[in-house]
Amino acid sequence: MSLVDKQSWGLRNRTPPVEARPKVVPTSEGPAPAKVPRSATPASRELFGVSRANLGLLIASLTLSLYALLRFRSLSTPSESYALCSPRGANVFTVDDAKPRVQCLVVHHSHFTDVGTLGMVE
pTM: 0.37
pLDDT value, residue 31: 61
How far apart, in whole angstroms, are the C-alpha atoms of residue 13 and residue 74? Answer: 47
Q: Cα dihedral angle (81, 86, 87, 91), rounded to 10 degrees?
A: -160
pLDDT value, residue 1: 53
In this predicted model, what pLDDT tens digit does every residue of 81-110 receive, in sequence order? 888 899 988 989 988 898 899 999 999 888
Q: Indicate the DSSP class of residue 71.
A: H
In this predicted model, what pLDDT tens digit does every residue of 60-75 receive, in sequence order? 999 999 888 887 766 6
- pLDDT at residue 13 above 80? no
Determine the average pLDDT of the residues in 26-44: 60
- pLDDT at residue 11 above 90? no
Question: At 58, which amino acid appears?
Answer: L
